[in-house]
Structure 1
Amino acid sequence: MLAKTFLEPFLEKEHVMYKGKFTASILLALGLTVPVLSWAGGTLLNLRNQAEDSPAALRQLQHQADSGNRTAGYYLGTLYDPGLKLGHIEKPDWVRATYWYQRSALAKRDPVTCYPNKAVAKTASGIGAWWRVEAEENMNGGDNDNGHC
């Protein structure tokens, strides 16, 4: 109630255009933020993005994946995937991409296997089928999660 009384003068007609930004600013000022990505997941995604052009980042991501981090393995697979063309250091390689996708698919909460009603990607053909379903859903506007849970 106190917050509503305090905010009412600022939410008059002339301020409504930026109401969302204003509300977000208030929440930030009060420290009421919700992280969009987990720290670890965001860090690995950032590392994957750096690994597109940085040999040191690629080695770090490889080390994480070799240590059993399945999310890192999935991201490593995307760097080798010839269909995605993300990695610029290593040549695209279906065998390596499939290896990392398969290894990653064995995890319970993996991006490739998180849809129980869709193809479980434990083979190269399963991966292709799963991505085709995702692409078709994105093209039809019915799904915009881009293959993520």
Structure 2
Amino acid sequence: MYKGKFTASILLLLGLTVPVLSWAEGSMLNLRNQAEDSPASLQQLQNQADTGNRAAGYYLGTLYDPDLKLGHIEKPDWVRATYWYQRSAQSQKDPVTCYPNKAVAQTAAGIGTWWRTEAEENLKNGDNDNGHC
């Protein structure tokens, strides 16, 4: 039996999911920081995001976000940033009750920023009512 699986089971049994999730999110943040300048780390972050990791998707979006200007490998791109923010936000199984094109966002930057806010809220297990519309 894989000993990590046993450890995870004990942690879940003891209700210690918050530290585990915080650690996982922190490791994705570290990977994102490395991915700012490392193609290998960028590919690793991309792979994590492709498997549905919400934090990886959000942090990948931040690398493409023209407002944040964090990534130095790829050019800033609102379409790619928005794609990853939206994917991260919707992986929460949060029913999106309003979309940015129905709210105040009418530009690529506005829509990207809207989805970034939604993804941030969901990563913090906060606002699931899309209250920033």
Shorter-chain TM-score above 0.5: yes
Cα 1:127–1:120 change in 2 (3 A) is farther
Q: Hey, what's the Cα distance between the residues in 2 that align with 1:98 and 1:120?
A: 13
Secondary structure of residue in 2 paired with 1:68 = coil
Cα shift at 1:130? 7.3
Equivalent residue, structure 2, for 1:76: 60
Alignment of 1:1-149 (within 5 A): 38-108=22-92, 125-129=110-114, 149=124
Contact 2:64 2:75 in 1 (8 A): yes
Cα shift at 1:39? 1.8
| Residues 93-126 of structure 1: CA deviation (Å, up to 9, x unaligned) | 111001111111103289xx8xx9xx87688535
Letter in 1 for 2:87: R
Q: Hey, what's the Cα distance between the residues in 1 that align with 2:61 and 2:92?
A: 17
Identity over aligned pairs, percent: 68
Secondary structure of residue in 2 paired with 1:38 = helix
Cα 1:76–1:130 change in 2 (3 A) is closer
Cα 1:40–1:102 change in 2 (3 A) is same
Equivalent residue, structure 2, for 1:139: none
Question: How much is the aligned-residue C-alpha RMSD, in angstroms?
Answer: 3.3
Equivalent residue, structure 1, for 2:10: none
Instruction: Please identify the structure whose Cα radius of gyration is greater.
Output: 1
Letter in 2 for 1:97: A
Cα 1:36–1:128 change in 2 (3 A) is same
Aligned length: 97
Cα 1:36–1:64 change in 2 (3 A) is closer
Contact 1:47 1:61 in 2 (8 A): yes
Cα shift at 1:129? 4.9
In structure 1, list runs of 5 or more residues that go unmatched: 1-34, 134-145
In structure 2, list runs of 5 or more residues that go unmatched: 1-18, 125-133
Contact 1:102 1:121 in 2 (8 A): no
Contact 2:57 2:85 in 1 (8 A): yes
Letter in 2 for 1:70: R
